[in-house]
Structure formats: C-alpha cells, structure tokens
Chains A and B, each alone.
Chain A
Amino acid sequence: MIAMRWAVLAVATVLTLAAFGATGTDLQPSALRVAVTAIVGLLAPLFWPGIGATAARTTLRIVGWSLAAACLAAIALRFAGNHGQPFARILPACAMLMLILLVIHALAAIVEQHWRSKSGNAESSHEMAGRTAALVLALLGAVPLWLGPAAELLARRQAWIIDAVIGVSPLTHLAVASGNDLLRNPWFYQHSNLAALRFSYPSLTTLIATYVAIALILVLAPLAARGPGRPTASTIATTHPATEHVK
C-alpha cells in the first residue's frame, strides 16, 4: 500500500512539475531544486499513510513516508531540467525536505490521533490530518508573501522582523539548503515586497539543529510516553481501514 501511495505521489509530482514548467530552461539549477522539493513537500502530506496501531508503527510511518518522499525528490532532481543535478547538490536539499516532512508528518499524526479520538471516524480523521498538514505547510511557506507588507511596516522599528518572516518559511529553508537566493528569483523579485529590502537568510546549521530538535520531540516523545508496543488510545477505539494493509 505504501508503494502504491508512493507511485501516485510520483505521478502527481511529475504532472505538477510539468504543469509549472519546471523543466524549462529559465529555471536555474538551484531554483529547480527548490521547486522540486517544494512540490514534493506539499504533495507528500496529502498522501500521508495515517497513524499506525501502535506508537512505534506511527513513528515508523512518519520516518518512512518522509524518507520515501525525500527519495522521490532526489530521483526527480536527478532527471529533471537540462541535465541531471550532481548528487552533492541534491543531498542537502532532499535532507532538508526530509527534516521538514518529519515535523509535518509528526504533526499530521498528532492531529489525526486527536480527531480520531474525538470523532471516532478513522477515515475522515486521516484525510483531514493530511490536508491540514499540507495547508499548514503551504501557509507557512507563503509567509514572506502574505506577512511581507506587515513586516515591512513593523521593520521601521524592529528591523529583525523581516528576517523572522523570511526565516519562518519552510520554502526559505529548502532554498537555503538548495543554495538558492529565494527572493531574488524572478517570481519573488516581482511579487514580494521584501526582495528589495535588507534581509538575511537563516544559516543551514541553525535550520538543521532546529528541525532535528523539533522532529525528535514530536516523533520520539509519544514513544517515550507510551512505550513502542502499546496501542494508541485512538487506535484501540477504531482502526483505519486504509492502514490495515500496511500493518
């Protein structure tokens, strides 16, 4: 079942990349890395396989699905564009995608578990969790666009606000790992008010440390709290039909 989900994600990724013209010659290699990882990153939570019967299984799915999505991005990058990208360039971008997805899938698991225990409906909880995770990712990714004007106004007193608004976006994180000056790409330069202002991107080291810390807390805390083999409260009550296949 996981393999089927991965295949559908792959098809969706290829179609979206083609629709956005990501194979065109105008897209420079670093921007292509951002585009591919961002598209896979947004689509992956929509195909989130759902929580497992135990905390350990849920953790396995979070890690497994995040890794599968990151690998898909790496494969797409190897073959997309004018010529395949070197592995040394692909690795940091896909590693960052993996870290982002670890956090976002862990959040999806928490949301799914919470809604399942409330509503008792496994299927709708599963779908809603994936959609919510994708929506959160999209909203956070676009923060420099929709919070940009407010940040510019506030930055007259507090200059750090611009850096904060840029730094909170997962799209920025993918760009930093891809070696791409995100706001100077043509689209952002034309549509973001922040592109012409003074700003700094967060450092790669800071980002990795932050994501690892958050991911460890979100992924390992439930394990430590419940023990790996014990069924989750929600899964005792109901079992998601779709997840049956991967047990």
Chain B
Amino acid sequence: MMKRLVLAACASLVLAPSATYAAEATMDPQLREKARRAVDAGLHYLRGQQAADGSVARSVGVTALSLRAFLESHRGYNESDGPFITRQVDFVLSKVQSDGSISESLQNTAYNTAVSMNALAATKNPKYESVMSAARKFLINHQIDEQEGYKPDHRYYGGIGYGGDERPDLSNVYLAVEGLKAASTDPNDPVWKKALVFVNRTQNRSESNDQPWAGNDGGFVYMPGWNPPEQGGGTTSYGGMTAAGLLSLLFAGVDKTDPRVQAAYKWMTVNYTLDVNPGTTGKHGLFYFYNAFAKVMLAYGEPEFTDGKGQKHNWRNELAQKLVSLQSADGSWANKDSNAWWEDKPQLVTAWSVIALEHLLK
C-alpha cells in the first residue's frame, strides 16, 4: 500500500505539468483567472463554515468534500498549512468505524466512506494507509454479490447502495469506484468486474445491457429499470447519471475506444446543456451534474466537442463561465430551484462547485 501511495504521488507529480498545460492552453486566460478567484472565494466560504471540531454542516460527507476542495485547489494546500486542514482531517478520521467505514450514522455509509477516501487520498499522507485499506475492504464487502445471495444475473449484482444493505444505484457506484481508485485498488480485483456488470445494466445500450427495458441512446439511468421521481421516473437517460456512468466505466479501466464509452460520450455531447440537468427539463441534481461533468470531461481528455446541433464547445470555458455566474457574493453556491439531494445546502454545493472548477483548471 505504501508503495502504491508513493507511486501515485510520483505519477501525479509527473502528470501535473501536462495537466496544467491542458487548462492553460485551452482556456480563456481571463476566464481562467475568474475561475481561480471563484475557487478562492468558495474556499473562503467553506473555511467560515467549519465548526470547532473541523466538521462542515455536521456531516462526514460534506466535510470530506470540503477537505478535498482545499487539498486539490491551485493553492496547493496540505496538512502543514494549519488547523483549517488538519481539523477537517481529524473530524473525518474520528468517524472511522470498526467495520472500516467512515461515517457517522446508518445513512449514507458507503457514500461517506467513498468521499472520505478521496479526501484522505488527496492528503497524499501515507499515515492514512491503514484507514484507506480498511475503507477499501468495507466498500468491497458492501458490493452486492454472491456473499449476499445474489447471482450474476440479478439486476442488483455488482451494485453498491448508500449504506446498510439497501438497493444499489449508479450514483453510489460511481462514488465508490472513484474512492476505490483513489485508494489504489488492485486493477485485477474482482470488484471492478462486478461493478461493470451493474454499470452495464444502467446504460441505455441493448448490446451491452441485458435488461428488457434497455434503449439505445447510450445514456445512463439511476438504477436498472428506474430513475428517481425528481428526474421523471422511467428509464430515460439523463445528464447526472450519464456522467456518473461514463466516469464509472473509465475508473473501472474501460478503454476510451470501447463502444460503451463512445456511446455514453456521444450522449453527453449530443444532449449538452448547462442550463438544466441534460435529458430533463428541470434543475434537480444540477450541481451534481456540473461536478460529475467536469470530472468526466477531464478524464475523457478532449478540450472541445461538437453538440447535437453541430456547434463546437470548449467545456472548460463554458462550465467556468456558468459556475462563476452562479456564485453568490459570499463565495457560496446553492441550487435555488431544487432542494433534492441536499442541493439547497450551500456547504455541499460549494464543495462540489469548487471541485468542479479545480478539475476544469487542470
């Protein structure tokens, strides 16, 4: 594990200049500066939201996201910068449970563990390797498979839910695989293959999805067979989940040229909009989409794309412009049109927005 962390740190150092070059070369310099200032203002807001124990919004998940926002910023914050970082780390560590999960309650156990793994990985501190290893084991054990009596032909197989043993969904799977990747999980571990079984069953692509409802537009749904009511129910592909599905494929090691990846990317670009959650007419989960969109576009590695109307888009410039325009005077963001999935909570949405900006600045 120690070796893996050192290797990951070296790899990120080697990759950092080329990644920085990507944003420098493709972004409008003025917009880039505005995005940096927006990150600073967002971090300032988050710093002001910290309680004495380091927690943000009394939540492990939000605190971990806030911590990650600090650690991945262009300011290069790390634990030596002071208590505003270490207190958050300490709060996250104080919620480590005996089963390896990192959470404060029955709710959101897997979600909190996954985002905490990303935050702890961002510290690049090998001290946390035992915590990361235990968290990795928790997520792997939490995956629905034969251990829970499910066979590979079951629609839940390979999925991961919020916590406990409830139904899995693509959103939690994406966060879990992101956490597992951050924890340098062995690429040959069966967890990836099993996760892909579930991910395939959430894509509207009948060639790789054995579910009877599967369409063929290449986009993704929340769960095999249904979407949350806020997204209209049914099995229509939408932006937040298509970004999550595409990220899951890429994190699980599926090649960029794979037809599943190509179909999902095509859906993302053809249905591109930043005004609503693509594929829906509403703004539920809009900031979740911005966050996942920034991550997936960076992971996919194309600076520009052409949408369904034949128009070219520089995703970095457009997402930066959108996020900067939505920032409040105090540096925070919040979804003013929806309270679903906590998007009315400025602490959570600010952390997501800062992380999105940090990704487009890379």
Q: Does B162 contact A (CB under 8 A)?
A: yes
How would you classify the secondary structure of chain A's contact residues: helix, strand, loop or mixed? loop
Complex alpha-carbon distance, A190 and B233, angstroms:
8
Are A190 and B105 in contact (CB-based, < 8 A)? no
B166 and A181 contacting across the interface, CB-CB below 8 Å: yes
Indicate which residue in B149, B154, B161, B340 contacts A184 across the interface (CB closer than 8 Å).
B161
- For A176, list chain B residues within 8 Å (CB): 106
> Which residues of B have CB within 8 Å of A197?
339-340, 342
Q: Per-residue 0/1 for B316-353: is the Cβ within 8 Å of any A Cβ (1 yes, 0 no)?
A: 00000000000000000000000111100100000000
The answer to whether A190 and B226 have CB atoms under 8 Å apart is yes
The answer, among A28, A196, A201, for a CB contact under 8 Å with B107, is A201
User: Roughly how many angstroms separate A60 CA and B342 CA in the complex, as a whole number?
Assistant: 48
Query: How far apart sit A197 and B223, CA to CA, in the bound complex (Å)?
Result: 19
Does any Cβ of A come within 8 Å of B90's Cβ?
A: no
CA of A83 to CA of B165, assembled, Å: 15
Could you give, for residues 149-174 of chain B, a 1 whenever the CB lies within 8 Å of some chain A CB and a 0 otherwise?
Answer: 11000101000011111110000000
A175 nearest in chain B by CB position: B106
Chain B residues with Cβ below 8 Å from A82 are: 149
- Measured between alpha carbons, how far is A197 from B284 in the docked complex, in Å? 12
Residues on the B chain within 8 Å of A184, using CB: 107, 161-162, 166-167
Query: Which residues from B are CB-within-8-Å of A200?
Result: 105, 107
Is the pair A185, B105 in contact by a Cβ cutoff of 8 Å? no
| B229 interface residue (CB < 8 Å to A) | yes
The answer to whether B255 has its CB under 8 Å from any CB of chain A is no
Bits for A179-190, please: 1 = Cβ < 8 Å to B, else 0.
111001110011
B106 near A181: Cβ-Cβ < 8 Å: yes
**CB proximity of B112 to chain A, nearest CB, Å:** 12
Ordered by A's residue number, 29 sampled pairs between the chains whose C-beta atoms are within 8 Å are A25-B154, A26-B156, A26-B167, A28-B148, A28-B166, A30-B165, A30-B166, A31-B165, A82-B149, A83-B149, A180-B164, A181-B106, A181-B162, A181-B163, A184-B107, A184-B162, A184-B166, A185-B166, A185-B167, A186-B226, A189-B167, A189-B228, A190-B226, A196-B230, A196-B339, A196-B341, A197-B339, A200-B105, A201-B105
Residues on B facing A (Cβ under 8 Å): 105-107, 148-150, 154, 156, 161-167, 223, 226, 228-230, 233, 339-342, 345
